[in-house]
Amino acid sequence: MSYYLMILVGAVLVNNFVLSRFLGCCPFLGVSKKTETALGMSGAVVFVMTVAAAVTWCVDRWLLAPHGLGYIHTLAFILVIAALVQFIDIAMKRFLPALHGALGIFLPLITTNCAVLGAAEINYKQGSGFCESVFFSFAAALGFGFALLVFSGLRERLAHANPPACFRGVAVALVAGGLLSLAFMGFSGLVKLPY
């Protein structure tokens, strides 16, 4: 139990996926202008990353490893993730239309979100077990969502600020992201990291 708690705290606060590992920076800057869109994106990422971790673990353990095909794991993982996102899109539209209305437009973005493939790669490199992999991906996605939500709050304030002309747009957002990352550095050393 405490091991899983350590993974959770480590992935959300200490080694946050966006702010200290730099995975998923494009959606972090791209969909953080409004809190509602940030919430939708976070929900979609948590869902897809958790499912993707389970599926990529199975693909690795039962398809790639027995045939000695570990060297093409990147190729296999990205194809599986792309197909999975398509499948979730179709299934959600059919069975959960209300949820699809809220998260639908973010789903295609997730295929090229490096956090999803990054988590699968980290799990592969660690050689961790099924529950561990799925839980780590879930925690990492929560960390991504948490950072995105906090950052969208900052950006809603920034929209009313009046920075010098050359700082408008992404430049000032990046500096604000840097300050947020600095704040998260205060959590370092909180737990001994299993990952």
In this structure, the number of other CB atoms found within 10 A of the CB of residue 48 comes to: 25
Q: Which residue's CB is nearer to another protein, number 5 or number 163?
A: 163
Between CA 77 and CA 72 the distance in angstroms is 9
State in angstroms the smallest separation of the CB of 114 from another protein.
5
Distance between CA 103 and CA 54 in Å, rounded? 21
Minimum CB distance to another protein smaller for 8 or for 23:
23
Q: Which of 85, 60, 84 is nearest to 72 (CA)?
A: 60
From residue 7 to residue 46, the character string flagging contacts with another protein as x (rule: CB under 8 A) and all else as - is ------------xxxxxxxx--xxx---------------
How big is the site for another protein, counted in residues (CB under 8 A)? 49
Q: At what angle do helices 114-126 and 130-158 cross, to 10 degrees?
A: 150
Where on the chain is the footprint of another protein (CB under 8 A)? 19-26, 29-31, 71-72, 74-75, 78-79, 82, 105-106, 108-109, 111-114, 117-118, 121-122, 125, 164-175, 177-179, 181-182, 185
